[in-house]
Every structure is written in structure tokens, then in C-alpha cells.
Amino acid sequence: MSTRQHLSGGIDAGSSAVKVAIVRSRAGDEPELLATAVQRIRRRNVHDVVDAAFAEACALAKVAIPDFDYIASTGDGDAVSFATGHFYGMTTHARGALYLVPAARAVLDIGALHARAIRMDGRGKVLGHRMTSQCASGTGQFLENIARYLGVPIEDVGRMSRESLQVEEVSSICAVLAETDVINMVSRGLSTGDILRGIHLSIAGRLVRLLRSAGAESVVALSGGLALDDGLVAVLADMLTKEQAKSKKPLPPLTVVTHPMSALSGAIGAGILGAFRFDQLERQGRTLGAAAAAPSA
């Protein structure tokens, strides 16, 4: 087994943002996170965003392209033309979440277009998963659309939801119909905070059902952009507590935990798995030139 340090990069190309993590590791040791970068795609070409985010992370880590042993992509792999290899999102989010929250045995990934619950073991190996249907009402994009309609910056959504004193839950699970519910609430004079709290309750209800259907137990690490929405996190934790108290039969206890870098779980996991893959290839005498096709940093 190789004992030298490896430099690997993880690039998570999502539907709304590109996340990059640069990791230094040695086989058998805990990986060291050197730098991260996040850039929103908005209306830019996704390939340009990938190049810019990767260059930003390299500058922060003070590393050059030739230093990399392995560059791993996850999410939209086609967006990362210079990747050495690709890992599925469930695998990278599980490994990255475990790095950030070592006690986690499940991951709740709440992305822009879907949510998924992932059950894993203590090594980050995926044991099972469940994903939301095509309806977007439990996702980050849905919440952003509601916030835009209400004229609320997305960074203020959590605070306004937590300050709510009177709540009316959105009844529909369909994103289109839920937006109609919100329009009706506005016309009835409900406060913006109360509406946002209702949206959070609706999303959290779907997420709890997703966790239960996946067989999640113990500590659940949140990942994805909505993991940083403290209003949603608070509603989700409260709903799990009330569910446990009201249930007529014992339910596996669930504790949701978020981390300041939760949105980077996929990129971090990809970087860590890239280093592991490099070790495997090196033992087989099949090392690859990771950075040969990479853009200039």
C-alpha cells in the first residue's frame, strides 16, 4: 500500500451550483480538507462555472494542476470534462457526510431538484436509499421560487420562518398547486413568515416520510443546499420529536445534524473517494494522469 500523500479533487456539478473540494490524504489516515469553492450556475455555461470554481479552490489551496493524482466528478459528470473518474451522487454524499458528521448512519440530501434519504454503515457504504418523485415541492428550487414570489432573499427564509407565531401548512404536495396555495395565503393577508413556516412544514413532512421509507436510524446528516436553511432544520427536528411522541408503536429514533459545509458533502466525498480509487489503481500498476486535460488554474 502506498504511504505517500495524495492530492485529489472532488467536483460536484449540481443543477444550480458547482461545488469543489480539494483533499490531501494518505492511505489509512484521516483526509485533510485543504480548500473548497462554491459557485452558482445561474445563466452561465456550466463548463465555465466548473473551470472557475476549480481554479478558485486551487488558488485557495495553493496547488497547481500537475499536483493532482485524481480528480473525481459527481452529479453531472458530463460537465467536468477533465475528471479522472466519476462517482454516483449517493456514494459521494454518504462519504462526505460521514467526514463532516462521523456519527451519521444516514444522509438526507436536499438538493435543488430532488431529495433523497440514504442509509449507510460506519464506513460510508450505501445500504439503501429512497428518492422523492418527480414533483419538486420538497426541493430547494421550489423554496427559491416561493421566496422569489414573496420578495424574500433566500438567506432570510430560515430566520423569518423561525420567527413565525401562527402557522398554516400548505396542503398540496404538488409544486404547482402549492404555489397556488401560497398566492391564496398572500391574498388573505397572512404574514410572509407564517407562509414560509407553512412551506417548511410541508417540505419537512415529505422528508420525514422519505427517511422512514429508507429505514434510516440514529444520526441523520443533512446535505445539499437546504441543509443550511435553519428554519427547515428546526421544523424537521421538531416534527421528528412529535412523531416519536405520538406514535403508537416504537420508531427508530432519528436525530438530524447539519454542518456549515453540508452543501459540500458531495464534493468532499468525491475527493476522498478519488484518493481511495487512486490507491487502488496504483496497487494494480494502473495509475492515470489526472490533470492532463484539466484547465489552467
Do residues 78 and 19 share a domain? yes
Q: Is 291 inside any structural domain?
A: no
User: Containing domain of residue 15, as a range?
Assistant: 6-88+263-283
Q: For residue 11, is it within any domain?
A: yes
Q: What is the pLDDT of residues 109-134, one digit of tens each?
A: 998 778 899 999 999 999 999 987 65
Shared domain check, 223 and 120: yes
The confidence band for 297, taking pLDDT boundaries of 50, 70 and 90, is very low
Q: How far apart are CA 258 and CA 174, in angstroms?
A: 27
DSSP 243: H
Residue 270: C-alpha distances to residues 66, 83, 88, 219 (Å)? 19, 11, 9, 22
Q: What are the residues whose beta carbons fall under 8 Å from the beta carbon of 296, sequence distance 6 or more?
A: 55, 65
Q: Are residues 52 and 135 in the same domain?
A: no
Give the rounded percent of residues in the chain with a pLDDT score beyond 90: 57
The better pLDDT of the pair 288, 294 is held by 288
Average of pLDDT values for 253-261?
95
Same domain for 83 and 20? yes
250, three cell numbers? 416504537
Mean pLDDT of 82-88: 94
- When pLDDT is averaged across residues 202-206 and rounded to a whole number, the result is 87
Whether 69 and 108 share a structural domain: no
> How high is the pLDDT of residue 267?
97
CATH at residue 154: 3.30.420.40
Higher-confidence residue: 175 or 18? Answer: 18
Answer yes or no: is pLDDT of 290 > 60. no
Confidence of residue 63 (pLDDT cuts 50, 70, 90): very high
**Are both 126 and 250 inside the same structural domain?**
yes
pLDDT in tens, 164-181: 888 777 765 566 667 778
How many domains does one find in the chain? 2
Mean pLDDT of 212-235: 93
**Cβ of 171: how many Cβ atoms within 10 Å?**
10
Residue 297 covered by a domain: no
Mean pLDDT (whole number) for 195-223? 91
Strand pairing class (32-40; 115-120): unpaired
In a domain, 150, yes or no: yes
